[in-house]
Amino acid sequence: MEVLKRLFEQHFCVPAGQSQPLQGQLGGSGRVILRLTGGAHSAIGVLYSVREENIAFLEFSRHFRRHGLPVPEIYAEDLSQGAYLEEDLGDTTLFDFLSANRSGESIAQPVVEAYRNVVAVLPRFQVEAGRDLNYKVCYPRASFDRQSIAWDLNYFKYYFLRLAGISFNEQALELDFSRLTKLLLAAPHDYFLYRDFQSRNVMLRAGRPWFVDYQGGRKGALQYDIASLLFDGKADLPPILRQQLLDHYLDCLAGHIDLNGDAFMEYYYPYVYVRILQALGAYGFRGFYERKPHFLQSVPYALKNLRWLAANVKLPIALPALLDALDNMQASQKLLSLAPEHTGLTVRIFSFSFHRQLPADDEGHGGGFVFDARSLPNPGREERFRKMTGRDPAVIEFLEREDSVRKFLSHAQSLVDESVASYRRRGFTDLMVSFGCTGGQHRSVYLAEQLARHLRATNGVEVVVRHMELEKLGKSGESV
């Protein structure tokens, strides 16, 4: 503490009148982090005993600032005491901003813009600043190599699978780990890998992102960091937003390298898997081994991401033992008991056109209901309705005059009501309902909106509506 006060006074020429521990920024690192203030000045002081990590952070910080990247200025340091003083970036992390501006899967547009700004900066770290970085100061490894990957996979195996009591065939799992490692190392890996690029390590000040906690950085593949951000457990980003942000990242990356998108995607989801496994190892070590239960609160979100991957991603190599272990995790009562207290059911309602694919089941629950409305009278055949949608009063009036529409909607509501009641009794959290018609603009939109209005009167049910065709047409296809 005294060394930080001394550094503060030496830099600002005023004594530090107050020091405040910032417990929320300690995470699992073991650092002591304080905010020191004196006069009109404020700074963040850090005490940490691992000299190699301190050197990496300080050198990386100065290097990134030379490249114009938004990282904290280093004011002063005393490595002999494991202390340094850095710029105060405030208290709002990207995760805080996300948490305060979302309702279920509906995320406010300013948050989306913040994420877009974050992923736009990432290639500058990876490519621009990574070219002339001194990788000799990296700790504990200069690259995300075979040894680094082995550490992460064994971290998952021994601190998560073992301590959670998940059964697995150790020899078969090692063979899968070997195959996965070979695939990961086949990706180009001459870029800066931030290592812990996630929402709690991005600060927002005046709406602008600033980046911290990159001292574990090393040389590695591009896919790892964007996977870390988009599959950040507790952030729980909706799959459609993850894809939009990935597309934006690739567009920005293409401004820095000659990008082959297909080649990038060949390795992307394997890196998603290895990042989730590394995070689970950390949750297990801190939660099961060190008995810090708040780390286990992130496990249900990691399991949700793994369910989505199982339902939506086919890996380019066979990993039967690993996938069996992941299936066993999903069935584990010990892990299921970590889920937060049930807060209600989310019903996701979609409208779509049968000329396109059915809406994807992002939760991995099997797709729920799909209702075909093409047998109903079609307003789209009349010129006066062509440019309207099923949310316009004239179209609503047209459809509500039709007895067949009223009966169809009544039957659909009855079926969904029965499932809602059953799902709530059984503690299920997600139900998907889709309405399709020829163009996805009139009948399906009307039915989706009417069902949503009906269900919003049910306590304990959150309703999310998306109109897939209207989104493509730029007609505001999402509502909550």
Domain range annotation of the chain: 2-87, 94-336, 345-479
The yes-or-no verdict on residue 232 having pLDDT over 90 is yes
Instruction: Find the DSSP H helices in 101-219.
Output: 109-123, 146-156, 162-164, 170-185
The yes-or-no verdict on residue 48 having pLDDT over 70 is yes
The percentage of the chain sitting over the pLDDT mark of 70, rounded to a whole number, equals: 95
Q: What is the reported pLDDT for 26?
A: 42
Q: What is the reported pLDDT for 306?
A: 96
Quickly state the pLDDT bin for 421 (edges 50, 70, 90): confident
Closest CA to 428 of 354, 364, 358: 364
Whole-model pTM: value is 0.75
- Higher confidence at residue 144 or residue 333? 144
Q: What is the mean pLDDT of the chain?
A: 92
CATH classification code of 2-87: 3.30.200.20
Q: What is the reported pLDDT for 365?
A: 62
Quickly state the pLDDT bin for 426 (edges 50, 70, 90): confident
The yes-or-no verdict on residue 25 having pLDDT over 70 is no
DSSP conformation letters of 327-383: HHHHT-HHHHTTSPPP--EEEEEEEEETTSPPPP-TTSS---EEEE-TTS--GGGSG
Please tell me the distance from the alpha carbon of residue 314 to that of residue 86, in angstroms, as a whole number: 44
Calculate the CA 51 to chain-centre distance: 31
Domain 94-336 has what CATH class?
alpha beta
Give the mean model confidence (pLDDT) for residues 90-104.
91
Q: What is the reported pLDDT for 27?
A: 47
The yes-or-no verdict on residue 346 having pLDDT over 50 is yes
351 neighbors 469 (Cβ within 8 angstroms): yes
Looking at 25-29, 310-314, 396-400, which range is the least confident one? Answer: 25-29
The CA-atom distances, in angstroms, between 337 and each of 166, 289, 297 are 14, 17, 10
Give the mean model confidence (pLDDT) for residues 298-304.
93
Q: What is the reported pLDDT for 259?
A: 97
The CA-atom distances, in angstroms, between 285 and each of 214, 234, 252, 288, 290 are 21, 18, 36, 6, 6
Please tell me the distance from the alpha carbon of residue 227 to that of residue 242, in angstroms, as a whole number: 9
Give the mean model confidence (pLDDT) for residues 131-154.
97
Q: Is the peptide bond before 140 cis (omega within 30 degrees of 0)?
A: yes
Tracing tokens 């939506």 back to the chain, one arrives at 312
Q: What is the reported pLDDT for 479?
A: 47
Please tell me the distance from the alpha carbon of residue 134 to that of residue 87, in angstroms, as a whole number: 23
> Is 385 strand, coil or helix?
helix
The percentage of the chain sitting over the pLDDT mark of 90, rounded to a whole number, equals: 81
Please tell me the distance from the alpha carbon of residue 368 to that of residue 135, in angstroms, as a whole number: 50
The yes-or-no verdict on residue 341 having pLDDT over 70 is no
Looking at 137-151, 217-231, 444-458, which range is the least confident one? Answer: 444-458
Please tell me the distance from the alpha carbon of residue 396 to that of residue 478, in angstroms, as a whole number: 18
